[in-house]
Every structure is written in structure tokens, then in C-alpha cells.
Amino acid sequence: MKIFGMVGWSGSGKTTLMVRLLPELIARGISVSTMKHTHHNVDLDQPGKDSYEHREAGAHEVLIASSNRWALTRELHDEPEPDMDELIARMEPVDLLLIEGFKKHRHAKLEIHRADTQKSLIGSDEPTIVAIASDEPLDDVTVPVLDLNDVAAIADFIVDFNGIGGKKGQANDTA
């Protein structure tokens, strides 16, 4: 399973790009899963729902299942947040695992940069950033700069970088 990340400051468009990349990569025959890190409290349940009540009553893990999907939630209590490798080990293998966030992990990353955020590049301090997708030209960078609005070119870069067998530009072919 190849692992490739998307990082950027808040408001840079990481999630927007991920949502646009997924159908592009999948149309090329690549199986893709995603993982997202958040600094906010994650809660998939709502008060009053049975699974919420199970968790509130002290269950260590709660698995919710239906004919369409399942989700497992685990309470950490006083345990430390699991590292990314532990989380990846729990995932089913696919061709490509796209990760949003986890800036400091050692996997290769694409930095998402938008001029209107008025933030400096993360890449200048982070050696695992292998390319930048930007909506403006960038000077004095040592990695490839991709057009943030050219999803097919970004998918081409990810496929080529990771040596995945997806067909270049297949999602945009009309034949």
C-alpha cells in the first residue's frame, strides 16, 4: 500500500482537492482510502442514539454496523493518541492511502498553497514535501510546483511518484 499525504494551512483547500482527486484516481483503476487528522474532538455519535449511550456508559469500543457501512469508535481515556503507523495498520490494504494532515509524519506529501491564505510555505521547513500545488507561481522552491486547479496533472504526479499502475489522464479521456 502506497501512502501519500496532503498538507497545508487551514483554508488552503486540502479537503477540496482530496474530494476532487478521489474520482480522478478511482477512474484510473486505483483503489484509494483516506485518513484525516484533526485537532478537533471527533464524535460520530449524537446524544440519544444507542451507540452514543453505549460509549457514555463506558464501553471501550463501539462498533456501529448496517448493510451500507460500519464504523468503529474507540475511547482513548488516558491513552495517548495513536501514531499514524498504528492507525494505518488497522486499515485494509489498497493501492493508495491518501492522508490529509499529519504534517510531521515521514511519508511523502503534497503541500496545498493558496495565495489568499497569506501563509508561508510549510515546505521550506519540511523535507517530506515532494511537490507543491499552488494557485500562484512560486519562486525559490526546490520541488515541482503543480497547478492547484489541474486535478489530472496532480493525479499524474501522485501516480508517477508512487509508481502506481494507473493510466495517465484516463479519467479525462472521452474515447
CA distances from 63 to 46, 55, 82 (A): 14, 10, 18
The pLDDT value given to residue 62? 87
pTM of structure: 0.84
The pLDDT value given to residue 43? 65
Per-position pLDDT tens, the chain of length 175:
999 999 999 889 999 999 999 999 999 999 999 998 765 566 667 788 888 888 888 888 888 888 998 888 888 888 888 888 999 999 999 999 999 988 888 999 999 999 988 888 987 677 899 999 999 999 889 999 999 999 999 999 999 999 997 666 554 443 3
Domain 2-40+81-172 belongs in CATH node 3.40.50.300: yes
The pLDDT value given to residue 27? 96
Which residues, 6 or more positions from 135, have their beta carbon under 8 angstroms from its beta carbon?
A: 113, 114, 115, 147, 148, 149
Boundaries of every domain in the chain: 2-40+81-172
